[in-house]
Amino acid sequence: MVNFWRTSFFSLLMTLTFVMGAGATPWRDIEHRGHLLVGVTEYDHRPLSFRDTEGNLRGLEIDIIGRLAQELLGDESAVELVPLSNVERLSAVIDGRVDMAIASITVTRSRLRIVDFSHHYFLSGTALITRKENGHSLSADDTIAVLEGSSAIVLLKQNLPSAPLKGVSSYQEGLSLVAQGEIRAFAGDITLLTGWIQENPEYHLLPQIYGAYPLAIALPKGLQHQELRDKINKIMINLSQEGWLQERIKYWGLEP
């Protein structure tokens, strides 16, 4: 019986160790390696992370990565960027493929169960986009396109209860309906819509923003990663307090 309990306790301990991020790399190993492994989104998400005409990654999140590398390792280029799909963003942090992920990840309660997050670097939200010729406001009966099943639906019903809503399957479908004049406005994430406007200046955002979703750096859980988390959080708080973060947010057109 004693051996049974010993075996069960050992198995539980090994399971907990794995769950807490055994695959991720402690700070001392990162320092010895000499560069950061950072997960980024694999698709263009202007102005957070996107490829310019020369194929280089640019954007707010890329600026943050460079600043972290400078502060942690003394060289803003001491980084290997690892493109990740949406479903890989957290698993890559947990299994140690990356040291952290900066990939337009919203902090949620469910995600906090499996990874830690840094101090947020941007508060996103739901905004409305329309053609400039439509003016800066909507009438009560103007139809708004919104992604089917998205959290934006609840926000729109709370704040614009009389507005008719039309479900669409993608951002492209919603924006196409606005372009064709079939729909007055499309509701979506302000970062994605800002990127659309930067490439299509005939559109603009309406002034009201609904909700607030913190975007932050996903970091591994576990006591062995406490030093890394402490360092990242200290840097992010300092970047916010000294105004660098707000300056970059303004530079990339994300200032409200």
Considering the domain architecture, whether residues 84 and 8 belong to the same structural domain is answered as yes
Tokens of 217: 């750096």
Considering the domain architecture, whether residues 170 and 183 belong to the same structural domain is answered as yes
Give residue for tokens 């990874």.
Answer: 115
Considering the domain architecture, whether residues 116 and 208 belong to the same structural domain is answered as no
Query: Does residue 141 fall inside a structural domain?
Result: yes
Residue 238: predicted pLDDT = 98
Strands 79-84 and 100-101: unpaired
pLDDT tens track for 14-73? 444 444 445 677 999 999 999 999 999 999 999 999 999 999 999 999 999 999 999 999
Q: 197 lies in which domain range?
A: 124-212
Considering the domain architecture, whether residues 58 and 136 belong to the same structural domain is answered as no
Cβ atoms 38, 226 nearer than 8 A = no
pLDDT tens track for 68-127? 999 999 999 999 999 999 999 999 999 999 999 999 999 999 999 999 999 999 999 999
Considering the domain architecture, whether residues 112 and 128 belong to the same structural domain is answered as no
Considering the domain architecture, whether residues 101 and 137 belong to the same structural domain is answered as no
Q: Across residues 161-165, what is the average pLDDT? A: 93
Query: Does residue 156 fall inside a structural domain?
Result: yes
Q: How many CB atoms lie within 10 A of CB 35?
A: 16
- Whether 214 has a pLDDT exceeding 70, the answer reads yes
Considering 60-64, 135-139, 162-166, 175-179, the range whose residues carry the highest mean pLDDT is 60-64
Number of domains in the chain: 2
Cβ atoms 137, 216 nearer than 8 A = no
